Amino acid sequence: MTNDTYRHKGLRRQLASLLKEKGIENASVLTAIETVPRHLFLNSSFIERAYEDIAFPIGSGQTISRPHTVAFQTELLELKKGEKVLEIGTGSGYQTSVLLEMGAKVYTIERQKALFDLTKTFLPTIGYNPKFFYGDGYKGLPVFAPFDKIIITAGAPIIPDALLDQLKIGGIMVIPLGDAVQVMTLIKKVANKKFEKVEYGEFRFVPLLENKEWGD
Ligand code: SAH
């Protein structure tokens, strides 16, 4: 891979052990963090700090979540190889790459055209090939449903009904719920229209926006 050095690999190993200290237990999540070259997802002026546990701007007013948030959300998904995952909020594609690295089949939706175009072009150049969709995550992807898992990577004021419908029975959705601050929420579909909810800690995300005018 271009521009990925032993130094970067060393920094990733350190990041993975930091996340382990912070409570991430799932070995395949930690391996994925150790594998995905996060520095390549950042604007070059931030590259030196790519393996610290901090969030960064990625353009179009959006952010790449901090590694701990990515790992925490991914761990809650209880992902198994080959599962079909719907991701809302492609952004830089870093979370997408972590899911792919764990063997998921990823369908990812982004509502900002500039970010969508950038990430759709960039990810395949480093070997990650999800199915990209430009559209409104509130609607999900009914044509490709049902999904084993659904992950929302923006702060959602409500749980979109369409997404609950598109979850398999037995499937898990992980969604940060709230306006200014979000509570990480795990929703398990136990039967048709029957759900169990578990709440985790507070996180901060950019908002999941309703589809008014695209491309802003
Ligand atoms: N997972 C990303 C983090 C992205 S930040 C990463 O690893 O980089 C959240 C993203 O959600 C932003 O790119 C934002 O444009 C997108 N978003 C917000 N509302 C959306 C919606 N309704 N549908 C799809 N994407 C949305």
Task: Flag the least confident range among 166-170, 200-204, 206-210.
Answer: 206-210
pLDDT of residue 44: 82
Residue 194 belongs to domain with CATH number: 3.40.50.150
Residue 208 lies in a domain: no
Residue 160 lies in a domain: yes
Atom of ligand 1 nearest to the CA of 60: 15
* Distance from the alpha carbon of residue 153 to the mean position of ligand 1, in angstroms: 6
Does the bond joining 142 to the residue before it have cis omega, within 30 degrees of 0? Answer: no
The count of other CB atoms within 10 Å of the CB of residue 90 is: 28
Residue 39 lies in a domain: yes
Distances (CA, A) of 35 to 39, 84, 167: 11, 21, 29
Is 194's pLDDT higher than 60?
Answer: yes
Range of the domain at 121: 6-203
Q: How many Å apart are CA 90 and CA 199, to the nearest integer?
A: 23
**Phi, psi torsion values for 106, nearest 5 degrees:** -110, 130
Task: Flag the least confident range among 79-88, 101-110, 144-153, 204-213.
Answer: 204-213
**How many folded domains does the chain comprise?**
1
The count of other CB atoms within 10 Å of the CB of residue 43 is: 12
Residue 107 lies in a domain: yes
Which pLDDT tens digit goes with each residue over 53-82? Answer: 999 999 888 999 999 999 999 999 999 999
Of all helices (H) and strands (E), which one includes residue 129?
Answer: none
Residue 33 lies in a domain: yes
Q: Is 136 in the pocket of ligand 1 (CB under 6 A)?
A: yes
Residue 53 lies in a domain: yes
Q: Which of 17, 65, 92, 97 is catalytic?
A: 65
Q: In this structure, are residues 87 and 95 in contact, taking their beta carbons and an 8 Å threshold?
A: yes
Token pair for residue 78?
Answer: 């209880």
The identity of residue 34, as a single letter, is E
Residue 213 lies in a domain: no
pLDDT of residue 215: 45
Q: How many Å apart are CA 116 and CA 210, to the nearest integer?
A: 17
Is 211's pLDDT higher than 80?
Answer: no
Packing angle, helices 94-101 and 113-125, rounded to 10: 40
Which pLDDT tens digit goes with each residue over 29-48? Answer: 999 999 999 999 998 878 88
Q: How many Å apart are CA 76 and CA 28, to the nearest integer?
A: 12
Is 196's pLDDT higher than 80?
Answer: yes
Residue 127 lies in a domain: yes
pLDDT of residue 216: 45
* Distance from the alpha carbon of residue 6 to the mean position of ligand 1, in angstroms: 31
